């Protein structure tokens, strides 16, 4: 156990009755963040009763930590199978059905535990493969670059759609400090940006609780706030790869995963800022453009979505009668489908099917939400006033040397306009984007944001 995990220790292998009325539990039992942590793997496996791991890595993570993991296991006389996925030359490996198929075809059916070596794609693929094959999961992290380190969900690309699947949370998270602190600054900044996005996630979650009476837990929200506070503290030392700053950031990322496990989905950690990131990721895949780190895109999306909350905080009370009278003038289903095919291309069928089930944009459902929004407008606006200023987060990203605006990572203006207007269609999840659409302000706000951030 790391000596710097006081904020995590209460949630290891725990189960408790919460004031929200639910029982929160986690199978995540061991967290190690220390120099040479990989050398502890044989002892850990022995303590847990596992004798034959199936190792999964990619070209990059195998070089960073996979070879060392294999050497440690060989020296201890532990049998294992190792599958190394080939990473594209100029980009990251996509977490899609092709990669998953490769892992399945190389599968060692006699292995009793899956070990992913890597933080992003390899983590998502490994924990999903663990879940569908009914075997436990252990993660050897290589960089604190995203918040899914111990999450029980995995965002994967399936039929050109980014979908969040149930997955296996790790029994053990092994973070070798010698490796984690040497991670490229862009990966450290991406991890921090992913956590800064929780400012928006928590606002979106509470907003949905107000408008739709969606389940909301203050205990889980507090865990996430702790993660955000820790991350803000760590950003000052990340540029110099300070050991303590990287340790604090990693803890924050772990806390975010625990919060997702407790809620049973990604709601506390994924809101409208993730819709932006996922939309841009899909466009890059369609265009054959090298992938950009998830957290990097989330940071940019967070600035944009906080701008919407800042605008909401200052907005005059809408004329709800006029909004209702204008419902008939919105896009028809046929016009909307045309826009989905333009924006989502090969992924449009999945988006259209989702809307048929969710009916987020159905006039009757919209009318029902407008009644609630009108009745609780003051409460909604009070929530918006608790949002940080978008410029504050912009400045934090700037000080870390992180991307701040879409152009920093080559996102075209049209993709930004479309992601703000239609990114909400990716999920049946109420966020600031849906609220702005509900009150008839989304197109107008999209234009303002593109004008401000896409010069």
Residue 322 lies in a domain: yes
Which of 213, 242, 261 corresponds to the end of one domain?
261
CA–CA separation, 446 and 437 (whole Å): 11
Are 27 and 111 in a shared domain?
yes
| 3 lies in some domain | no
Interatomic CA distance for residues 188 and 252, integer angstroms: 12
Q: Taking Cα atoms as reference points, which of 282, 327, 276 lies closest to residue 302?
A: 276
Residues 344-372 as b/e (b if ≥16 CB within 10 A, e otherwise) read beebbebbbebbeeeebbeeeebeebbee
Q: Is 104 helix (H, G, I), strand (E, B) or coil?
A: helix
333, 247: one domain = no
Q: What is the pLDDT of residue 4?
A: 45
What are the tokens at 368?
């029902």
228 belongs to a structural domain: yes
C-alpha 248/C-alpha 234 separation (Å) is 6
The reply to whether 72 falls in a domain is yes
The single residue listed with the structure tokens 């453009």 is 289
Contact 384, 206 (CB under 8 A): no
248 and 340 assigned to the same domain: no
For residues 326 and 206, membership in a common domain is answered with no
Verify that 43 and 160 share a domain, yes or no. Answer: yes
CATH number at residue 75: 3.40.50.1970
Domain that holds residue 326: 271-453
| DSSP code per residue over 173-200 | EEEEHHHHTTS-HHHHHHHHHHHHTHHH
In a domain, 4, yes or no: no
Phi-psi region at 349: left, alpha or beta (left = phi > 0; alpha = psi -120 to 50):
alpha
What whole-number distance in Å separates Cα of residue 56 and Cα of residue 71?
15
**Whether residues 56 and 193 fall in one domain:** yes
Question: Which tokens go with 75?
Answer: 């020296």
Shared domain for 252 and 299, answered yes or no, is no
In CATH, what number is assigned to the domain containing residue 385? 1.20.1090
Helix, strand, coil percentages (3-state) for the chain, rounded to 5, are 60, 10, 30
Name the residue among 155, 167, 82 with its Cα closest to residue 128: 167
Q: Note the pLDDT of residue 324.
A: 98
What is the end-to-end Cα distance of the chain in Å, rounded?
Answer: 48
Q: Are 369 and 212 in contact (CB under 8 A)?
A: yes
What is the total count of domains within the chain? Answer: 2
Q: In this structure, are 251 and 324 located in the same domain?
A: no
Q: How far apart are CA 267 and CA 260, in angstroms?
A: 7
pLDDT of residue 161: 79
Nearest to 343 by CA among 355, 331, 354, 351: 351
Consecutive H or E run containing 82: strand 81-85
Question: Which pLDDT tens digit goes with each residue over 328-386?
Answer: 999 999 999 999 999 999 999 999 999 999 999 999 999 999 999 999 999 999 999 99
Q: Are residues 256 and 292 in the same domain?
A: no
Same domain, 290 and 230: no
Q: Identify whether 1 is part of a domain.
A: no
pLDDT at 359: 97
Distance from C-alpha of 275 to C-alpha of 111, rounded to nearest angstrom: 36
266 part of a folded domain: no
pTM of the model: 0.91
- The DSSP bridge pattern shows strands 30-34 and 113-117 to be unpaired
Same domain membership, residue 299 and residue 355: yes
pLDDT along the chain (455 residues), means of 10: 66 94 92 96 96 97 97 98 89 87 97 96 96 97 91 88 89 96 94 96 98 97 93 89 94 93 92 97 90 93 98 98 97 97 95 97 97 98 98 95 95 98 97 98 98 92
339, 407: one domain: yes
Q: Nearest 5 degrees, angle CA 202-CA 208-CA 214?
A: 105
Task: Tell which residue, 8, 451, 443, has the closest CA to residue 223.
Answer: 8
CB burial of residue 331 (10 Å; 0-12, 13-18, 19+): exposed
3-state secondary structure of 11: helix
Strand order in the sheet with 137-141: 30-34, 172-176, 137-141, 113-117, 53-58, 81-85
Q: Does residue 367 fall inside a structural domain? A: yes
Q: Which of 230, 261, 292 is the last residue of a domain?
A: 261
Q: How, if at all, do strands 81-85 and 30-34 pair?
A: unpaired
Residue at a domain's end among 211, 242, 261? 261
């Amino acid at each position: 156990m790391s000596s710097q995990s006081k904020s995590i220790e209460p949630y290891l292998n725990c189960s408790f009755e919460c004031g929200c009325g639910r029982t929160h539990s986690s199978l995540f039992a061991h967290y190690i963040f220390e120099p040479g942590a990989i050398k502890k793997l044989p002892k850990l496996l022995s303590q847990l009763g596992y004798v034959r791991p199936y190792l999964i890595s990619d070209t990059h993570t195998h070089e960073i930590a996979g070879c060392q993991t294999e050497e440690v296991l060989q020296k201890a006389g532990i049998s294992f199978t190792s599958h190394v996925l080939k990473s594209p030359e100029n980009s990251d490996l996509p977490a899609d059905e092709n990669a998953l198929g490769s892992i399945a075809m190389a599968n060692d059916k006699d292995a009793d535990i899956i070990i992913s070596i890597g933080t992003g794609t390899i983590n998502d693929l490994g924990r999903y493969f663990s879940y569908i094959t009914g075997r436990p999961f252990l993660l050897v992290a290589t960089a604190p670059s995203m918040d899914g380190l111990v999450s029980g969900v995995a965002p994967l690309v399936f039929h050109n759609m980014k979908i969040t699947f149930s997955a296996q949370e790790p029994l053990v998270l092994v973070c070798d400090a010698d490796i984690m602190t040497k991670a490229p600054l862009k990966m450290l900044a991406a991890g921090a940006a992913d956590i800064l996005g929780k400012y928006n996630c928590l606002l979106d979650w509470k907003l949905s609780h107000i408008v739709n009476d969606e389940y909301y837990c203050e205990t889980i929200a507090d865990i996430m706030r702790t993660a955000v506070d820790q991350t803000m503290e760590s950003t000052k030392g990340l540029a110099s790869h300070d050991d303590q700053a990287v340790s604090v950031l990693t803890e924050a990322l772990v806390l975010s995963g625990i919060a997702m496990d407790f809620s049973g989905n990604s709601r506390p950690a994924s809101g409208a800022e993730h819709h932006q990131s996922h939309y841009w990721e899909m466009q890059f895949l369609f265009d054959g453009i090298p992938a950009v780190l998830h957290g990097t895109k989330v940071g940019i999306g967070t600035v944009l979505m906080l701008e919407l909350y800042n605008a909401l905080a200052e907005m005059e009370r809408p004329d709800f009668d006029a909004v209702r009278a204008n419902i008939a003038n919105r896009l028809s289903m046929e016009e909307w489908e045309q826009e989905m095919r333009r924006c989502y291309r090969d992924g449009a069928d999945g988006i259209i099917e989702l809307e048929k089930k969710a009916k987020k944009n159905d006039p009757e459902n919209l009318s029902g939400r407008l009644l609630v929004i009108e009745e609780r407008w003051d409460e909604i606006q009070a929530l918006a006033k608790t949002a940080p200023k978008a410029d504050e987060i912009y400045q934090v990203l700037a000080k870390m040397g992180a991307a701040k605006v879409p152009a920093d990572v080559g996102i075209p203006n049209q993709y930004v306009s479309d992601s703000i207007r239609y990114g909400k269609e990716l999920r049946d999840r109420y966020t600031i984007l849906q609220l702005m659409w509900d009150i008839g302000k989304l197109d107008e706000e999209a234009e303002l944001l593109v004008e401000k951030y896409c010069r």
